[in-house]
Structure 1
């Protein structure tokens, strides 16, 4: 990506050739309705036991892992249609798979455009705990990191929640 197209300064102000913007936590909360004033999501990106984690939460194991990432297409294919007589556990698994698709496909988009990191699945184990997390902060920090990377000379694409730009 041409470094002159995106400029970054240490106040987190990003400038393109025709416009300049500052993306804030308040902006994330307003535009995406994500919580920003709750517990910060932390933890290692290294996930041990990804097969066990997938089985425990989703009830199925992907045959489409790429490192520690799951194919969004696999999630879409396996968790496509929810039957009317599904149990509460199955409904929760479908909801978790759908949230993973949102994370990987919109909120924390990566360069592959088709993979989502398994680490997010750990935070979806218990929906009551999930609501206590600051998802907006994670979305914004991912976007900042990706905008920063986009300023590198060898970068050809940009990732993150592009809806905020």
Structure 2
């Protein structure tokens, strides 16, 4: 029977034991978290960069969110994340192949997982970042119905607290225009807080906002591909034993 490429790379026969579980070094021992875990006196659990919502969205927003292709993604809850489990997965991640190396086989998160579990579109145009804006204040006013003051934004990111106020305090008599401004604010929040969080745990980058200019065309972008790419990137980054926190869609990773 031919040996797998992974098996041929594991030249060292030495094994380590931590908390009664034997663990073998997976990659170069000076750079991967698995070796750091083998030698550590105490088990270090990775922290997650997540800014989730504690309550469901206003039912009046759902038609707009479903039109944009985010109808299922807004139902994600982050309160049950198991960071010890996520840390164990990171210890098994191989950046060379973008797969988890388990004793039985290799596995990974796929686009099919993204489509099935998050309901995000995985076909269509790339959800590319917009790196520069000619008038970010005008963009915010056009899509969110309000231009931010300097203390609320540095015009590279929107605060989650400000976004929550946009869609969390809708009056009973909210107009269609107010709802259409609240929907992009909601999508911005779950994008930067749950689906693709980055180092700014209290803000979401403005680069996603231009993609939400027309809610009827938002679903034409492959948001699922972007979510998966960010998760892969974060998994590779956090295998460095010096990294202590992780972004990306941790709910998808755990499930």
TM-score using structure 2 length: 0.58
Which segments of 5 or more consecutive residues in structure 1 lack a partner in the other structure?
Answer: none
Structure showing greater relative contact order (alpha-carbon pairs closer than 8 Å, 6 or more residues apart): 1
Which segments of 5 or more consecutive residues in structure 2 lack a partner in the other structure?
Answer: 1-30, 35-90
Relative distance call for 1:58 and 1:155 in structure 2 (3 A) is same
Tell me, in whole angstroms, the C-alpha distance in 2 between the residues paired with 1:132 and 1:75.
24
CA offsets, 1:39-64, max 9 Å, x none?
21124333442222111110112332
Question: What RMSD in Å do the two structures reach over aligned CA positions?
Answer: 2.4
Q: Secondary structure at the match of 1:123?
A: helix
The structure number with the bigger radius of gyration is 2
- Count of residues in correspondence between the two structures: 164
What does 1:1-165 align with in structure 2 at a 5 Å threshold? 3-4=33-34, 5=91, 7-15=93-101, 21-63=107-149, 64-66=152-154, 68-165=156-253
Relative distance call for 1:54 and 1:117 in structure 2 (3 A) is same
Q: Secondary structure at the match of 2:100?
A: strand
Relative distance call for 1:67 and 1:36 in structure 2 (3 A) is same
TM-superposed deviation, 1:111 = 3.1
TM-superposed deviation, 1:2 = 6.6
Relative distance call for 1:100 and 1:148 in structure 2 (3 A) is same
The answer to which of 127-136 and 35-44 deviates more is: 35-44
